[in-house]
Amino acid sequence: MQQIDNPQQNTPKTTDAPFQILGIKALAHLLSVLLHPIFTPTYCALFIVWVLPNVFGYFTSQQAVFVVRTIFLYTLLFPLFIVFLMRALDFIDSYDVTDRKQRILVFMPMAFLFTWTCTVLYREQLPDITTKMMYGATIALFLSMIVNIMVEKISIHAIGMGGAFAVVLFASGLSPYNIAWALMLVIFLTGAVGTARLILQAHQPREVYNGYMLGFLCMAVSLLVF
């Protein structure tokens, strides 16, 4: 007697798919927030004063504290306040700032604050890597603003991670510690952030790749040449 197949048994279960998609998008959004480029200078400052005791002395030395405090105030705290104020006044539609024209409103005060940070660090005659790192971040910010106006909505997340990779790579040659783990970690996070931006459909692949290249080159040139 011929067995009649039950259609329900052959139908793949798809009830979990929406939840899986939501979970992946939630993770992508979390990565985009935690590794937002506004945090990158502060992360890099904390990293270099930690792995370069031969340059800064101990972690709580006067130089180390001044570097971290200055970069935190002028590249993170003040910019966050400005963005919150712009959102409250409806100058921008969202904190993601997806519109290219609205990005300019955010870039301009940040460019001033980054330039001011470079000036403060230079006047204090701090270790070269500190000033060079901020030079690279500032140059990348100005170039990203130009690219955003004239060419495309380049990925600022990718620019930040490209610059962070250059900082870790450069610091690995100066540190008395074996920080190969940091290189592997930053490579993983760089790829994860780019993937997250693509999952969230915030950018095209070209915009992410160009961001990586711009961020890395600006930081590498600054660290090696200036």
Question: In this predicted model, what pLDDT tens digit does every residue of 119-135 receive, in sequence order?
Answer: 999 999 888 999 999 99
Q: Locate 83 and state its tokens.
A: 């963005």
The position carrying tokens 């930081």 is 219
177 CB contacts (<8 Å, ≥6 apart)? 51
Q: Taking residues 165-192, what's their average pLDDT?
A: 95
The position carrying tokens 């004063």 is 49
Decide: 68 and 59 in contact? Cβ < 8 Å: no
Query: Alpha carbon 206 to chain centroid distance?
Result: 17
pTM above 0.75, yes or no: yes
Is the pLDDT score of 84 beyond 80?
yes
Q: What is the pLDDT of residue 157?
A: 95
Q: What is the pLDDT of residue 18?
A: 64
> What CA–CA distance (Å, rounded) separates 160 from 193?
10
Taking the domains of the chain in order of start, what are their residue ranges? 35-225
Question: In this predicted model, what pLDDT tens digit does every residue of 143-166 receive, in sequence order?
Answer: 999 999 898 889 999 999 999 999
Give alpha helix (H) positions in the chain.
7-10, 17-34, 40-51, 53-56, 62-72, 78-88, 100-123, 128-150, 156-172, 180-199, 205-225
Query: Alpha carbon 56 to chain centroid distance?
Result: 24
Which of the four pLDDT bands, split at 50, 70 and 90, describes residue 34? very high
Is the pLDDT score of 16 beyond 70?
no
The position carrying tokens 């793949």 is 12
**73-87, 93-107, 172-186: which range is least confident on average?**
93-107
Q: How many CB atoms lie within 10 A of CB 169?
A: 18
- Chain mean pLDDT for the chain: 89
Question: Could you tell me which residue, 100 or 105, shows the higher pLDDT?
Answer: 105
Interhelix angle 156-172/205-225, nearest 10 degrees: 40
Long-range contacts of residues 43-46, Cβ cutoff 8 Å, at least 24 apart:
43/164, 44/133, 44/163, 44/164, 44/167, 45/71, 45/72, 45/130, 45/133
> What CA–CA distance (Å, rounded) separates 181 from 165?
12
Is the pLDDT score of 3 beyond 70?
no
Q: What does DSSP assign to residue 77? A: I
Q: What is the pLDDT of residue 14?
A: 47
pLDDT more than 70, % of the chain: 91
Which 3 state secondary structure label does DSSP give 33? helix
Q: What is the pLDDT of residue 223?
A: 95
The position carrying tokens 């991670």 is 161
